[in-house]
Amino acid sequence: MNLILFGPPGAGKGTQATLICKEFNLIQISTGDLLRSEIKKKTNLGKKIDLIINKGSLVPDNIVSKLLINSISHSNNSNKLVFDGYPRNMSQVKNLNYLMNKYHQKLSVVISLKVEKDIIKKRIEGRLFCSICQKTFNKFFNPPTVENHMCDNINIKKRTDDNLETIIKRFDTYVKKTKPVLKYYKKNFNFYEIDGNDNINEISNKIRVILSNLSNWH
């Protein structure tokens, strides 16, 4: 099974994708992680991506496509992909369709998390991560503790792209750009919209029911 998980910045796509992959033995394809990995390598492409993200703009499709090809084309990833945050516009939809067809992959289901802007603001303002184990936390909803975090809390940091002004701009861009994308997937694929204002466990349970009930799930 291959699936797409939609939602604005701060909707919890990454968290839900991680839980899905762990439970159903799938592979998470996060364009955000791919981009941050390239930035961390400090390549020329990574420096370009960093500049674009810090301006609050979306990274051009041709750059994202280059980073996606390795994941989609790998034979071990066949029909085991969870696309986290991609595609975000119709150009990316066409590109994903092309890559999926080229590498004999098939999209099974699309899930969209719908979240209010005020909820997004609070989630983003509190979002943290560990620079060692990469585990994510939120100082309001899920702070790091001795029970849920084994590393030293000195390694807890805030992502550089998590400033509120940038996130709100990305939220507005997401709503504008993805409207036709969601319309396309509603019309052509198994599509489900979930209330993303709920807590992590409630959202996870809803997604679990959807995936478990799909007739082509094995």
- Distance between CA 191 and CA 110 in Å, rounded? 5
Name residues whose C-beta falls within 8 Å of residue 187's C-beta, 6 or more positions apart in sequence.
none
Output the DSSP codes for 135-202: -EEETTTB---TTT--S-GGGEE--TT--HHHHHHHHHHHHHHHHHHHHHHHHHS-EEEEETTS-HHH
Name residues whose C-beta falls within 8 Å of residue 179's C-beta, 6 or more positions apart in sequence.
none
218 pLDDT higher than 50: no
Q: Is residue 94 part of a domain?
A: yes
Q: What is the mean pLDDT of residues 191-210?
A: 93
Q: Is residue 137 part of a domain?
A: no
Provide φ and ψ at 84, rounded to 5°: -105, 100
- 33-72 pLDDT tens trace: 899 889 999 999 999 999 998 887 878 888 998 899 988 9
Please count the structural domains in the chain.
Answer: 1
- Distance between CA 47 and CA 65 in Å, rounded? 17
7 pLDDT higher than 70: yes
Q: Is residue 68 part of a domain?
A: yes
Q: What share of the chain is helix, strand, coil (3-state, %, to 5)?
A: 50, 15, 35
Q: CB–CB of 83/4 below 8 Å? A: yes
Residue 36: domain span: 3-115+176-213
Q: Is residue 162 part of a domain?
A: no
Q: Is residue 182 part of a domain?
A: yes
25 pLDDT higher than 60: yes
Q: Is residue 205 part of a domain?
A: yes
185 pLDDT higher than 90: yes
- Distance between CA 26 and CA 40 in Å, rounded? 25
Q: CB–CB of 80/24 below 8 Å? A: no
Task: Say which CATH number the domain at 102 has.
Answer: 3.40.50.300
Q: What is the mean pLDDT of the chain?
A: 88
Q: Is residue 23 part of a domain?
A: yes
- 121-175 pLDDT tens trace: 887 778 889 999 988 888 887 889 888 888 888 889 987 766 778 778 888 888 8
Helix (H, G, I), strand (E, B) or coil at 206: helix
Q: Is residue 121 part of a domain?
A: no
